[in-house]
Amino acid sequence: MIRIAIQSKGRLSEESLALMSEAGIRIDAIKRKFLARAADFPLEVLYLRDDDIPGVVAGGSADLGIVGYNEVAETGADVRIVRRLGFGACRLSLAIPKEQEYTGPAFFEGKRIATSYPNVLSGWLRANGVNAQIQKIMGSVEIAPAAGLSDAIFDIVSSGGTLVSNGLKEVETVLESEAVLVAGTLDADKQAILDKMLFRFDAVMESGGKKYILMNIPTDKVQEAVKILPAMRSPTVMPLAAEGWCSLHSVVLERELWDKIERLKALGAEGILVLHLDKVID
């Protein structure tokens, strides 16, 4: 049995559960309790506030955790980052009132900076030789300058919309973050369960941003089409009943899909189907 701590309510909760569910580890989300057992995998879930997850894993009360890298950096907890999970992307940035001119890190000398991330901030200030006053505020940091509580803020930014609507501009990105899977010290049995989970997580993440594509193509164009479509090993080519035609199957990155479709059509491809890819197991 392995125990994983995930955020109980918040931006990472749904996606943490979705990742596990896509990996075939189903937890009853309706009867969400403090501690829940997976139906078909030797795992139990501990629902916590995100701030507590790194410490709980480092302390051994949970073996694994899914949490924003920003929280791992802030708490400095002694945990191992096992995987970057590709969701919850954001950054920790310094922002100042938009009408002020930014002159570089020295701008912050003697200034008051409001933040919920004092440790990450003080590391950046030290590295840049800046002396500033850190005002620790939990929540609604972005209103601190307008309220006269600070001259600048250091906070999580994602789209940047919150900064704009509070008359602030981002001037330094200090830390890039995303959700990460962290682990504490594991014995051999728990490491074996983790390895099994990672095999599944990797298959789920590997399929992200990819599509399965199939089409009919004149046999004499197959060689050129294969160059456009390098797949995991190579595309699958099957002869069609119609003389001179083949069916070609492959996997493509979603962001390259339209470009490739145009090039394949130019080669004479017809009946192109693009399908959802559920899992990719290498």
- In the complex, the residues that contact ligand PRT under the rule CB under 6 A are 7, 9-12, 49-51, 68, 70-71, 88, 90, 142, 155-162, 177
Q: Is residue 206 near Zn ion by the rule CB under 5 A?
A: no
Which is nearer to Zn ion, 34 or 187 (by Cβ)?
34
Which option in Zn ion, ligand PRT, none does residue 90 bind, with CB closer than 5 to 8 A by kind?
Answer: ligand PRT
- Contact predicate 41/82, CB 8 Å: no
Residue 274 tokens, joined: 């693009």
Q: How many CB atoms lie within 10 A of CB 278?
A: 10
Tell me the CA distances in angstroms from 230 to 49, 72, 119, 272, 277, one per residue in order.
44, 38, 46, 17, 16
Q: 2-41 mask for Zn ion (x: CB under 5 A)?
A: ----------------------------------------
Which option in Zn ion, ligand PRT, none does residue 63 bind, with CB closer than 5 to 8 A by kind?
Answer: none
For strands 80-84 and 179-183, give the pairing. antiparallel
Which is nearer to ligand PRT, 116 or 250 (by Cβ)?
116
Smallest CA-to-CA distance from 96 within 35, 17, 155, 9 is with 155
Which is nearer to ligand PRT, 9 or 136 (by Cβ)?
9
Q: What is the DSSP letter of 40?
A: S
Which is nearer to Zn ion, 41 or 117 (by Cβ)?
117
Which is nearer to ligand PRT, 70 or 150 (by Cβ)?
70
Q: Is 81 helix (H, G, I), strand (E, B) or coil?
A: strand
Which option in Zn ion, ligand PRT, none does residue 158 bind, with CB closer than 5 to 8 A by kind?
Answer: ligand PRT
* Structure-token match 């749904």, residue found: 14
Half-sphere exposure of 246 (CA within 13 A, CB side): 15
Q: Is residue 224 near Zn ion by the rule CB under 5 A?
A: no
Q: Is residue 44 near Zn ion by the rule CB under 5 A?
A: no
The site for Zn ion (CB under 5 A) is made up of: 50-51
